[in-house]
Amino acid sequence: MFGRSFKFASDFLRSWGVNVRVAEPGNEDLLNKIEQGADMVFVESITNPLLRVADLEKISKICKEKGSLLVVDSTFATPINQTPLSLGAT
């Protein structure tokens, strides 16, 4: 995620008592953390600069089962290449 977004989550939100956990989007670590429960999941659909691809349909399915909001930053993909809402983002 963008450096400023990460800093906002890890410093500012944590200072307000929000539990922030970080995971790589392209592996099972993220899915396991969602399974443990989350109010909101924030992912980049294609990460920049490493080009890791999150399986948004799989992530959104688990988020819906757990009652989590799925927020997707698709800056790198743009709406021309990917539409996260059609893949289950909330």
What does the pLDDT read at residue 1? 60
Sequence spans of domains, the chain: 3-80
Q: Is the pLDDT of residue 60 over 90?
A: yes
| Rounded distance between C-alpha atoms, residue 27 and residue 29, angstroms | 6
Q: Is the pLDDT of residue 14 over 80?
A: yes
pTM listed for this prediction: 0.81
Per-residue pLDDT band for 34 (boundaries 50, 70, 90) equals: confident
* 3-state helix vs strand vs coil in the chain, percent to 5: 45, 15, 40
